[in-house]
Chain A
Amino acid sequence: MPQFLIVYNQLTGEVDLREYGDDARDEALERRFALELEHRLDPHIEVVLLGARSEAVLHRTHARYFKTVRELVDSA
């Protein structure tokens, strides 16, 4: 299953996403730890590593990273 490394700014909604193949899980995890260290002093930056069948699935299960409140309501 592909891995998606996300760096999300809670205040601006800005999201940086990078996809890793199933064979690069260790690399993704190492990068995650490095990014967590890099952003450790900023409480509004989230670094998460999520596995999903596709990026489209991720947009559904973790819509908050990709949509505004307005867009979420409109999708109801």
Chain B
Amino acid sequence: MHDKLRRQPTKLSRIQDIAGVRIVQDMDLNEQDAIVRALTAEFHPVRVTDRRLVPSFGYRAVHVVVRVGRCWCEIQVRTSQQHLWAEIVERLADRWGRQIRYGGQPDDPQREIADSTRLEFWNAVIAISDAVHRIEEVAANQNFGIDAGEAPEGLDRVEIDEARQRLREVLAVLVEFLDRGVAL
């Protein structure tokens, strides 16, 4: 909270996540929409921030801010994939500087890790967010869970396969760094 007030000077009463709830679920984007609709029907007043199409420096989720008594409460609605990405970034930010969550470069960005740099590694992590979103979009449009096996006949297999391949590639970059003994 102290960091937040320093980053965005404002009145304490205007901060939206003094209290918070996090919903993490194995679901597709349509199901995520359904949860958000249910929340908006339940509370008043309510504000929705959808960070899926326009992510906040790679962070994707839907935040529903509701008023409970005199307090604002932020309800984070995340798919499992969005959540995994966010947790990886939080853990990285512990070591490389919390500013990376808000568009800043890692501390000591040109510091070498294996034959690369922290900055290049960080760019690979951002790319993972885009790849995950692409897969989730395809899965939602096809009404086809991303963890399911073969796509049903007639659906766009090529698009799904391409998105999955992209995710494998960017995750492989991450694992490659880790296999080189980069301490994270």
Task: Tell me whether B178 and A73 are in contact (CB under 8 A).
Answer: yes
Place the interface of chain B in its size category. 10 to 19
Given A64-B90, A68-B91, A73-B175 contact (CB < 8 Å): yes
Secondary structure at the B interface, as helix, strand, loop or mixed, is helix
Task: Tell me whether A72 and B88 are in contact (CB under 8 A).
Answer: yes
CB nearest to B90 among chain A residues: A64
A73, B87: Cα distance in complex, Å:
10
A42 nearest CB across to chain B (Å): 12
A21, B171: Cα distance in complex, Å:
39
Chain B residues, Cβ within 8 Å of A64: 87, 90-91, 94
Task: Tell me whether A69 and B178 are in contact (CB under 8 A).
Answer: yes
Chain A residues, Cβ within 8 Å of B92: 69
Task: Tell me whether A67 and B22 are in contact (CB under 8 A).
Answer: no
What are 8 sample pairs from A and B whose C-beta atoms fall under 8 A apart?
Answer: A11-B95, A60-B24, A61-B22, A64-B91, A68-B91, A69-B174, A70-B184, A72-B84
